[in-house]
Amino acid sequence: MPTLYYLLQKEFIQIRRNKFMARVIILVPIVQMLILVPAVTFDIKGIDLCVVDLDLSSTSRELVNALQGSQFFKVRRMTFSMQEAQNQMNRDEIDVILHIPTSFERNLMVNDAASLQLLINGINGALAQTTLVYFTGVITEFNRRIVMEHIVLKPVSASPQIVTRTRYWYNPELNYRIYMAPGILAILVTSIGFLLSGMNLVREKEIGTSEQINVTPIKKHEFILGKMIPFMVIGVVDLAFGLVLARLVYAMPFVGNLLLLVGFTLIYLLAVMGLGLFLSSFANTQQQYLFVCFFFMMIFILMSGIFTPAESMPAWAQQVNQLNPAAYFIRVVRMIVLKGSGISDVGWDMARLSLLAISTTVFASLKYKKTIS
């Protein structure tokens, strides 16, 4: 134990003296929480719309006004030529074309039916699908208003009705920032545990201190613990700092158990640090480790479900994702923070992540070769 104590003391002194690492530990949580959380969003507003109104009726103007009154659409262009509108879409000046044909109002009033054409830029599939949903909602409300204004119903006896009230649990206002904040926290903890811990070991190779440690009677497990414990402490501190920022800036609720979150975070840090120390044994310079680290981090983050549900991935990708520690962490952080899930809800994820943590730590210990001369 005295040996481990002095090793930990050495690690904290090195971290404090390393200006780059100290800045990363302090500034990264602030930058990620204040910039990435509001920037990374799938909320779509201000969709650029071009209207080709060939009807020029009061009803078509009401429809255009309804779209302009929506927070989702901005009428940027109005023209009478479909070719001109398509050219504007080809130049990426607009996202959507609304074509209102001639006799739109007449068909609506006489035949109780009318057609509209909506052309959406489908390069971004998610944006196109969301745009269609928004447009359908505006048209549905517009159609309901037209029916109420122009159709006279005969008085009928009151009939039973089913009243539907929609309530969203855990995020009642559908605030995307509240959904993204726990995910960004997970990326923050990953960068601390995976990136910095491995770089710290590789840096010792570059400056030669690892060779000095190799000729000492320090045991292998003491060396591994001495490398892991400081960054586990830093990761938990940064997690707490990020939670406070999310609470103060975005009013993110925290309805779960803080000790359960800290415990799961420690297991996750053990898993990613074990992998980081294992990979760092193959690198001789910090640049080499950065290349390898970013490769794995990109895979972990993109497959973790932070942006899109992991359940939407192909079956083979979901099987591969069982080996992705970030997938467990991001899912469980959101469950604990936003849903208040307990140990019985996340126990299976904790068990599988613990298995990954043990495996990566064992691999890191076996790969590290300590020679004593």
Q: Label residue 372 by pLDDT band (50, 70, 90).
A: very low
**Which range is least confidently modeled, 10-24, 148-162, 265-279?**
148-162
Mean pLDDT on 38-42 = 74
Tens digit of each residue's pLDDT (9 = 90 or more) over 229-273: 888 888 899 899 999 999 999 889 999 899 999 999 999 999 999
Q: How many angstroms separate the CA atoms of 121 and 117, rounded?
A: 13
**199 versus 261: which is more confidently predicted?**
261
Q: Specify whether the CB–CB gap between 109 and 44 falls below 8 A.
A: no
> pLDDT digits over 289-340, tens only?
888 888 888 888 888 888 777 887 888 888 988 999 999 999 999 999 999 9
Which pLDDT value is given to residue 126? Answer: 72
Give the count of alpha carbons within 13 A of 111, CB side only: 8
Predicted confidence (pLDDT) at residue 13 exceeds the cutoff of 50: yes
Q: Is 3.30.70.1140 the CATH classification of the domain at 47-150?
A: no
For residue 108, CA distances in Å to 133, 142, 146, 255, 273 come to 22, 12, 9, 51, 65
Q: Where in the chain is the domain with CATH 3.40.1710.10?
A: 47-150
pLDDT value at 373 more than 70: no
Examine the pLDDT at 155 and tell me if it is beyond 70: no
This prediction has a pTM of 0.78
